[in-house]
Amino acid sequence: MNRALQMVLAELPVTDGLTCTEDLRFFYEGSPIAECEAVGDTLILDIHCHELDVPILIDEFEFCRPAKARGPEWVRIVLMISPGREELSAVKEAFMSAIDRVAPGFDAPLDNPFTKGAKDMDKYVCVVCGWVYDPELGDPDGGIPAGTAYADLPDDWVCPVCGAPKTEFEKE
């Protein structure tokens, strides 16, 4: 499975009624809301949003474009290998708009992984040397892959610059 798709699937709201088929078509309560295509390391998402949200999504997120072949309510988002927080936020907003189109007034559950991910993906600064741990980059030299939240770092992880322990970091 392509890495961008894995990250998107991990971020989708946990809610009854949201399903995905093997051919990467998403439905909410039986109504189609999105189609995806994985091409190598690239993931192309066409999401059927609420018509009022389309211009906002396109204006707010540089990754959102009109899905011209589909119609005016469709947004296309193209993600590369490891989408960052902003790309995943665009996907989240578009999916929530698509669900709201089908079920007006839908509210994401409080345990929505998007909310959790936003908190977990904060940057942390080493108070000893000033180095910044950015979850979007990880610590590849230390064996920490991109997309690893600070809270998910092993307890024995240390600052790659000065060797300070994890306890010597503060939220940026």
Is 112 a residue whose pLDDT tops 50? no
**Over pLDDT 90: what percentage of the chain?**
18
Residue 102: exposed, middle, or buried by beta-carbon count in 10 A (0-12, 13-18, 19+)?
middle
Is 163 a residue whose pLDDT tops 90? yes
What sign does the dihedral 151-5-67-78 (CA atoms) show? positive
Is 136 a residue whose pLDDT tops 90? no
Of the pLDDT bands very low, low, confident and very high (cuts 50, 70, 90), residue 114 is very low
Is 164 a residue whose pLDDT tops 90? yes
Is 130 a residue whose pLDDT tops 90? yes
Taking residues 96-105, report their average pLDDT. 80
CB 166 within 8 A of CB 157: yes
Alpha-carbon distance values, 15 to 29, 54, 78, 150 (Å): 10, 23, 24, 26
Lowest mean pLDDT among 12-16, 55-59, 67-71, 135-139: 12-16
Is 133 a residue whose pLDDT tops 70? yes
**Over pLDDT 70: what percentage of the chain?**
85
Is 127 a residue whose pLDDT tops 90? yes
What torsion do the CA atoms of 84, 65, 78, 95 make, to the nearest 10 degrees? 70
Q: What is the pLDDT of residue 12?
A: 72
Tell me the pLDDT tens digit for each residue of 9-63: 776 765 677 888 888 888 888 889 999 888 877 888 899 998 888 888 888 888 8
Residue 109: exposed, middle, or buried by beta-carbon count in 10 A (0-12, 13-18, 19+)?
exposed
